[in-house]
Amino acid sequence: MSTAETLPDASIRLGAQGVTRRFGELVANDRITFRAMRGTIHAIVGGNGAGKSTLMRILQGMDRPDEGMVVVDGVPTVFLGPADAFSRGIGMVHQEFMLVPGLTLLENLVLAHEPTEGLGRIDRKAALEAARKLEREAGVTLDWDTPVDDAPVHVRQIVEILRLLYRGADVLILDEPTAVLAPAQVQELIVLLRKLRAEGRTILFISHKLDEVMALADEITVIRAGQVIGTMTTADTTKAALAEMMIGEILSKPSARPSSVGRPVLEIRELAALDARRSLRLKELDLDVRAGEIVGIAGVAGNGQDEIIAAVTGLGHIERGRIVLDGKDVTKLDLRDRRELGLSYLSPDRAVEGLCLTAPISENLIAGRHRSPELSKGGILQKGAIKRHVETLLDRFSVKRTSSALPIASLSGGNQQKVAMARELDGGPKLLLACQPTRGVDIRGIAFIHQCLLDYREAGGAVLVISEELEELIALSDRIVVLYDGRVTGEVARGSAKVEELGRMMLGETRQEIPA
Amino acid sequence: MIDNIIHAAFVMTTPILLAALGGLVNRIAGIVNIGLDSMMLAGALAGLMVASLTGSWPAALLAAAFVGGFLGLLMSLTVTRLAANEIIVGLGFNIAVAGLVRFFLKSWYGTSGTLSLADVAMLPRIHIPVVANIPVLGAILSDHDPLTWAAWLLVPVSAWFLARTRLGLRLRAAGAAPHAARALGLNPLSLRDASTVFAGMMAGLAGAYLCIGVVGIFNEGITAGRGFLALAAFYFGRNRPWATALGALLFGLFDAIQIRLQGRGLPAELVQTLPYVMVIVILTLVAITVKRARNKGA
Amino acid sequence: MSAVASSARAAPGIGWRDIALAIAPLVLALIVAAVVLGIAGHNPLEVYWLLLKESFGGTKRVAATVAASTPLILTGLATAVAFRTGVFNVGVEGSLLVGGLAAAFVGFTYVDLPAALLLPLALGAAVVAGTLWMLVPAVLKARLDVDEVVTTLMLNFIAVSFTAWLVNGPLLAPGSANSATPMVVEAARLPKLMPPSTLNAGFLIAVALLVLYWLWGRGTALGLETRLAGLNPRFAIASGINVPMLIVKMMLLSGAIGGLAGGIQALGTVNRFVVGFSPGYGFTGIAVALLGRGSAIGIFLAALLFGALATSGATIQLFSDVPIEIVNILQGTVMIFAVARFSWLLKNRRGGK
């Protein structure tokens, strides 16, 4: 063994060496190797389900690889836990911020590492001094006595980053840091991160927003389906090349026979809505979905999709605009009444909203339809009719089960989603709002669900699909509407949709700007 | 007459205030303590027994705080380590401890309900010479016992403690965002346990006050639901020490008035309902304000 | 409460594990009480045997036990209907008090009415009073999301003082000094089933309601909706169930049953309303609902258990020097253990996933 081989390459601040992590059948990380050099910004890009989150959990010690190792300062290492990772200077800014409500920014900064004087009193002067020093390093100014609850999102994010520095981290892992930011704030963040890099810190930046990655990163590692597709320096690549690596080829296309498009079933007019943080997330949206048509909504998460769901279902508050369902203005109606008028809603959050995991399969299948005349008479559930109905539906959607009386949690993700799908297509809805219809579903399940949606369309149904899977949207949609920052930036018809083009529109470039 | 009522109001405030401050800290750290009344009751009995046994009131207070704190610890562990619902556990403690206290009285002393012991060391009263003769001010300031002074001193102290100290900050974090607190390396469960022990100790002192500060004997109904009045006080004060103290003083005043109303044909019972009605009204007003703010913003 | 709601679901099969889990709180409480008894110098097994004999040994004793369990079946049921909807109603005690007073009031005021009219009227008054008592917390919860635990708990104390005021003043029996209303007339009393035992037709009403509850929970649309709302309110809302309305309905129903419990107690056992009318039936009802895991048969058995403890506890004092308070200790500890989860103690510790 020569000295040259054993000497660790200390310029590698953080990396992975053949990291593999399996969850049952699923290989979330498959022999992932990459290296983030000291004092650089390294981006990890990949689509949904590419394995980014698993890798991040491993890199900060929250999870352990089945094979391979994390590399710290060039040395292969096994982390004992998050505290161990942190003691080696590795800290993470989470997507959902870990700030404590009710506390001021300063209190949040020093929490768990408070400078104190006598009687356990917090030394405010020392805390403020430390805060000012960090401000200078990061090139920002903050009002430290603001309660966290009153601070805007980008300020909270800055506090999170400064807190990591305060606690001694010099490697920052940022998980989709711009997902919650407005464009101007993204610029501020980029400036801040560059400043930190200039001071010798290492930044690992996880994103699927390619323009930010191109603007910020020194090196980029693309992962897809748990594997590293390639690592390149930013100067040597282009957005288009990255997009292609990220998305891959389109594997299969379910057969979509032409269908006759009818009258509009859903009309959204001049819709404006606020998001949970009360900033305007949806601006003057107009959208039609007609009978016999599947309309897909593409866009990076957080560009107004949640607000469309809230507006169409009536589950959230809208600022302005009208929702017309099958010719009737339903803007003021709640979900129950909208369902009566023919709306069906496949929730993006299967575990919490789409299904009741602790209730039996049969009840999940009839919930909401249990008062229909076939299933109950005078408020009394018709056991026999329900049983027949449930078994028929489960057979039709080929749901594998031992007994429909067992809790639905006993089914696999794919079969759970089939149950949700079966319920929503039952009773002949006029419009199906299908959100992330195949999230967490295996390949065979995906094909099945796609075929269901296409069959429904052929039978004259109208579908609005909201999905983060471009491939899925291209396969299903007669039209794809691209959303960026709460506005429609383009529309593409079936057959003419190209990933590259969609990707550009998702980044805010309108179709006209693209040279023919 | 007015002076008498004012003085009595302060006397009646002390136990509510002590327990309320404990419950407040407990709630800020994330546990609503419905079991305060049980800790008060146990503290009252322990206080009386030790006051008689040792003839020393500080020892009695110490014993009461210890017993209350111990019950607090038991309750807290059930909630934090066995994931039990804090409301049910609190109610269960009230029932079980009340039973245990009466069981103990019968088995140990052979009495039912009331316990009267010899040589009980009562809390001393601090007479402030000149001030005592000033109307109103004298009634407010003079002839109170050390525990009353301590209770009022604890109002600014707890406000300061929660706002300015390391432990106070950590307790707030444990209550408001246990997940985030854990991620930063704190142990929110242990912090909660500590706060419940504190609440138990304060409730224990409140009980001892009733026994060796006011009546001098123990009775199974001595708390008269004051643990719940304490709960009402910190809900009324919305977790702010001074507002909570104001609530406790108000409830103490009702208590003092209500005692005087008895036998005069005035509805003392209706005065007793006031603290509870006020809590419901306050919660409603807060909820309306929150809803208005949300609708305006959205 | 999801723990109650989830166990209320009709499981396809009940195994030994379920039974063990169901009686674990009782067993643990018996152990705690045994330690207390042991320290006090009693032989726990002897005491428990005595309790058993005094509650089930002979027709008279059984009748007394069943009579004592009647209000507990109803308060347990009242608690369970709220819990299964995900509403934490701890205010059944208050409904019971106002219901009891309302029934007594009708029973001693409209003395000229025939039994066939007076008795239903008095029970109806109890139901209405109990329902109205829950109106404020129900609406506050559904419309403004005000914590129902606090409001219903506060209302209990208000009910205690409010009823005490009425029976000490406006409704005090003439010439009486002991805070009680006049006796209700014979026509307003529930028929006794086994005189001289206080066991009365109220027990039949309670059991009938329990059977209705069982059928309702399994076989009606509303029963399904409440269960789903209790298990997962977001899912229920997304499925088109009007959850706020459901909360109001079920809290009012809970109050109605609590009021009925008071009415039955006033017209069947006490025959009037007095201060100290309830030794905490509403709170015991919480223990009954939890121990019975929200199921009809479970509520019945748990109510029988606490009824047995109440009657036998009263008599063992006569035969031994064991204080009756052992019953309260058992009751309180059962409540605590019924909500504690011991599962993690059995789980072997394993880091990560």
Residue ranges covered by each domain of chain A: 3-247, 250-342+428-516, 354-427
Distance of alpha carbon A122 from alpha carbon C86, whole angstroms = 42
Estimate the crossing angle of helix B226-236 against helix B2-28, to 10 degrees: 70
Do the beta carbons of residue C266 and residue C277 sit within 8 Å?
yes
Complex ipTM > 0.90: no
Q: Given pLDDT bands bounded at 50, 70 and 90, which one contains residue A274?
A: confident
Provide the CATH number for the domain formed by B2-297 in this structure. Answer: 1.10.3470
How far is residue B255's CA from residue C277's CA, in Å, rounded to a whole number?
23
Q: Which sequence spans correspond to the domains of chain B?
A: 2-297
Whether B36 contacts B19, CB under 8 Å: yes
SS3 A173: strand
pLDDT at A260 over 80: no
**All domains of chain C in start order, with CATH:** 63-307 (1.10.3470)
Q: Which residues 130-159 of C have a C-beta within 8 angstroms of B?
A: 136, 140, 144-147, 149-151, 153-155, 157-158
Split at pLDDT 50, 70, 90, the class of A121 is very high
Cα–chain center distance at A83: 27
Convert the pLDDT of each residue in C264-309 to its tens digit: 999 999 999 998 899 999 999 998 998 898 899 999 999 999 999 8
Residue A492 and residue A502 in contact, taking contact as beta carbons nearer than 8 Å? yes
Q: What is the pLDDT of residues A444-465, one digit of tens each?
A: 788 889 999 999 999 889 999 9
C327 near B CB under 8 A: yes
Which among A103, A112, A121 has the least Cβ separation from residue B165?
A121
d(CA A148, CA A101): 6
Residue B265: its pLDDT value, please?
Answer: 61
Quick check: bond before C196 cis, omega within 30? yes
**C-alpha to C-alpha distance for B130 and C221, rounded to whole angstroms:** 75
CB nearest A83 (choices: B179, B185, B298): B185
The structure tokens listed for A197 are 């890099």
Edge-to-edge strand ranges of the sheet holding A343-346? A343-346, A431-435, A462-466, A293-298, A479-484, A487-493
DSSP A360: B
Element (H, E) at C260: helix C243-265
Task: Reply yes or no on whether the pLDDT at C180 is more than 80.
Answer: yes
The mean pLDDT of A13-34, rounded to a whole number, is: 88
Integer Cα distance of B128 and B141 in angstroms: 8
B96–C286 CB contact, under 8 Å = no
Distance between CA atoms of residues C271 and A395, nearest Å: 60
Determine contact: A426 vs chain C, CB below 8 A: no
Write out the E strands in C194-267. none
- The answer, for C328 touching chain B at a CB cutoff of 8 Å, is yes
pLDDT at B214: 86
Identify the pLDDT of residue A4. Answer: 46
* Rounded CA separation A181/A157 (Å): 9
A45-59, B208-222, C136-150: lowest mean pLDDT where?
Answer: A45-59
Question: Which CATH superfamily does the domain covering A3-247 fall into?
Answer: P-loop containing nucleotide triphosphate hydrolases (3.40.50.300)
Q: A432: closest CA among A265, A261, A255?
A: A265
Nearest CA in chain B to C149: B87
Distance from C73 to chain B by nearest Cα, in Å? 19
Average pLDDT over residues A120-138: 92
Residues 6+ apart with CB under 8 A from C2: C86, C230, C231
**Interstrand relation of B218-219 and B114-115 (parallel, antiparallel or unpaired):** antiparallel
pTM for this prediction: 0.86
Which band of pLDDT confidence, cut at 50, 70 and 90, is reported for residue A7?
A: low
Q: Mean pLDDT in chain B?
A: 91
Angle between helices C59-84 and C281-291 (to 10 degrees): 80
Residue B265: closest C-alpha in chain C:
C169
Task: Please indicate if any CB of chain B lies within 8 Å of the CB of C323.
Answer: yes
CB contact A424 to C (< 8 Å): no
Confidence (pLDDT) at A257: 67
Neighbours of chain C (3+ CB pairs under 8 A): A, B
Query: What is residue A52's predicted lDDT score, i.e. its pLDDT?
Result: 83
Q: Least CB-CB distance to C221: which of A340, A371, A406?
A: A371
Q: Summarize pLDDT for A467-510 with one digit per residue, the tens.
A: 877 778 888 899 999 888 888 888 888 877 777 677 777 766 65
Please answer whether residues B18 and B209 qualify as being in contact, where contact means their C-beta atoms are separated by less than 8 angstroms.
yes
CB contact under 8 A, B83 and C280: no
Q: Which residue of B has its CA nearest to C346?
A: B82
Are the beta carbons of A278 and B298 separated by less than 8 Å? yes
In eight-state DSSP terms, residue A281 is: E
- Please answer yes or no on whether B89 and C1 come within 8 Å at the CB atom: no
Backbone φ, ψ for residue A78 (5° rounding): -115, 120
Helix/strand/coil (H/E/C) assignment for every residue in A10-40: CCEEEEEEEEEEEECCEEEEEEEEEEEECCC
> Can you tell me the distance from the alpha carbon of C141 to that of B122, in angstroms, rounded to the nearest whole number?
46
The answer to whether C273 and C101 have CB atoms below 8 angstroms apart is yes
- Number of helices and strands in chain A (H, E): 17, 22
Closest approach of A23 to chain B, Cα-based (Å): 24
Spatial distance between the Cα atoms of C76 and C81, rounded to a whole number of angstroms:
9
Q: Which B residues, 148 through 207, put their C-beta within 8 Å of a C-beta on chain A? A: 164-167, 169-170, 172-173, 176-177, 179-181, 183-186
Dump pLDDT digits (tens) for B24-33. Answer: 999 999 999 9
Tokens representing C312 are: 């036998």
With b for 16 or more beta-carbon neighbours within 10 A and e for fewer, the A170-191 pattern comes to bbbbbbbbbebbbeebbebbbe
- CB-closest option in C235, C237, C241 to A355: C235
CA atoms within 13 A on the CB side of C200: 18
- Is A250-342+428-516 the same fold as A3-247? yes
pLDDT over 90, % of chain B: 62
Cβ–Cβ contact C38 with B under 8 A: no
Classify domain A250-342+428-516 at the CATH class level: alpha beta
Residues of C with CB under 8 A from a CB of A: 6, 9-10, 12, 219-225, 227-228, 231-232, 234-242, 351-353
Is the predicted pLDDT of residue C189 greater than 50, yes or no? yes
Say which residues have a Cβ less than 8 Å from residue C88's Cβ, sequence separation at least 6: B87, C1, C82, C148, C149, C152
Count of alpha carbons within 13 angstroms of residue A357, beta-carbon side: 10
Interatomic CA distance for residues C101 and C161, integer angstroms: 12
Q: Give the burial class of A115: count Cβ atoms within 10 A of its Cβ; 0-12 exposed, 13-18 middle, 19 or more buried.
A: middle
A residues 329-388 lying closer than 8 A (beta carbon) to C: 334-336, 339-340, 345, 347, 352-360, 363, 366-368, 370-371, 376, 379-381, 383
Cβ-proximal residues to A410 (8 Å cutoff; 6+ apart), any chain: A361, A401, A402
Write the Ramachandran bin of B70: left for phi over 0, alpha for psi from -120 to 50, otherwise beta: alpha
| Separation between Cα atoms, residue B165 and residue B172, nearest integer Å | 11
Specify the range with the lowest mean pLDDT, choosing from A429-438, B31-40, B148-157, C14-23: C14-23
Question: Is A329's pLDDT higher than 80?
Answer: yes
